[in-house]
Structure 1
Amino acid sequence: MTFTAAAPEALDIVVSTMASDAHTWNLVYLQLLLEEHGHRVTNLGACVPDDLLVDHCRRARPDLIVLSSVNGHGRLDGLRVIARLRAEPELLATPTVIGGKLGITDEADAQAGHALREAGFDEVFTGTGAIGRFTSYLSRRSTAVAA
């Protein structure tokens, strides 16, 4: 795997799970994918308490927050976490996305998307093609930062 140097349009990105999710391979994958696209990544790891995520993002002021869930509780955790992030004036406008397994069924994943966007997530990535849609979203974000 070849990593590219951070370009001027590179984003500072925080990648994390939420408090109930102990999965790490999804975070490693996302970190490598983002770094391969030239972005700077801080990976907070698994089982991240809400306070740690909020405090870190408030201090770091990332260009993008990426939350990943594999355990099927992403919708519930995501609703709680986005409320905490959006309650912080410094993070109110920070682009924040979520993806992975957000419910315990594919139907639950599809239904979660609407609720999570309404709650304040900029984008939700689930199901077949989620990584492709995510990389397209990244390209648009990078272009917007460079402009």
Structure 2
Amino acid sequence: MELGKAEHVGLDVVVSTMASDAHTWNLVFLQLLLEELGHRVTNLGACVPDADLIGECRRLAPDLIVLSSVNGHGFNDAQRVIPGLRACPELEHTQMVIGGKLGITGADDGSVARTLRAAGFDKVFEESASADELRSFVRALARAVPV
């Protein structure tokens, strides 16, 4: 590394809820977990309107977008917002994941995850997923992203 030039280490990550979700503790947890792993996190907060989420992600062009849902409406919100995110040329190579309480009907047969993956998410962390699953995913992604 040259003197005076900082080495780019870690991923640039955006964490956010979607328009209908006012919960913030999940975002603080995700931010701290990702920062603990050495990544730079922009936390957009709760109740982020679709246009604002898409606009900020376009502006920041992160390596990873992590959407979190606690209120149980994540499945519907995600299907509405993912096409707009995937349509942005700036986000062509951005990994996009969603997790948390994605529905209000309880455990399902995996159809929620399959539907969201087909809609454009790279990974879906269902409510029963552990923090270790996210850590493993992010570590593998960080190894794959060129410095």
Give TM-score, length-normalised by structure 2: 0.89
Letter in 2 for 1:67: L
Which runs of at least 4 in structure 1 moved beyond 3 Å after TM superposition? none
Two-structure CA RMSD over aligned residues (Å): 1.8
Q: Hey, which of these two has a bigger chunk of helix by percent?
A: 1
Q: Deviations over 1:29-51 (max 9, x none)?
A: 00010111110000000000011
2:123 aligns to what? 123
How far did 1:93 drift? Answer: 2.9
Inter-partner Cα distance in structure 1 for 2:69 and 2:37: 22
Whole-Å separation in 1 of the counterparts to 2:98 and 2:26: 12
Give the Cα–Cα distance (whole angstroms) in 1 for the partners of residues 93 and 108 of structure 2.
27
Distance 1:113 1:54 in 2: 22
The unaligned stretches of length 5 or more in structure 1 are 1-6
Work out the CA distance in 2 between the residues paired with 1:9 and 1:126: 29
CA distance in 1, matches of 2:36, 2:27: 14
Q: CA deviation at 1:109?
A: 8.0
Residue type of the partner of 2:90? E
Report the more deviating stretch, 88-97 or 133-142: 88-97
TM-score scaled by structure 1?
A: 0.89
What is the total number of aligned residue pairs between the two structures?
A: 142
Which residue matches 2:13? 13
Structure 1 residue 129, shift from structure 2 partner = 3.4
Larger radius of gyration: 2
Aligned to 1:29: 29
